[in-house]
Amino acid sequence: MHNQEVRIEAVEHLGQRLWQVRLGHRGLRFAEECRARAFAAQLHVRRQWLKQQGDGC
């Protein structure tokens, strides 16, 4: 995962405000900001763990 960061963006889709969590060119949309933030936090922790596993090999 080449130095990509987890990002949260507010987006408009079909007249509805959504929260999009992005990692590189991939993303997931959530209707609620708190759910987007919780997912982003979990994704960030998982990426850190994977980086640590790669450093130990």
Cβ neighbours for 35, distance < 8 A, ≥ 6 positions apart: 19
Show the 3-state SS of 11-29.
EEECCEEEEEEEECCEEEE
Q: What is residue 54's predicted lDDT score, i.e. its pLDDT?
A: 85
What residue ranges do the domains of the chain occupy? 6-55
Residue 25 has pLDDT above 50, yes or no: yes
pTM of the model: 0.81
Residue 41 has pLDDT above 70, yes or no: yes
Residue 56 has pLDDT above 70, yes or no: no
Residue 2 has pLDDT above 70, yes or no: no
Residue 36 has pLDDT above 70, yes or no: yes
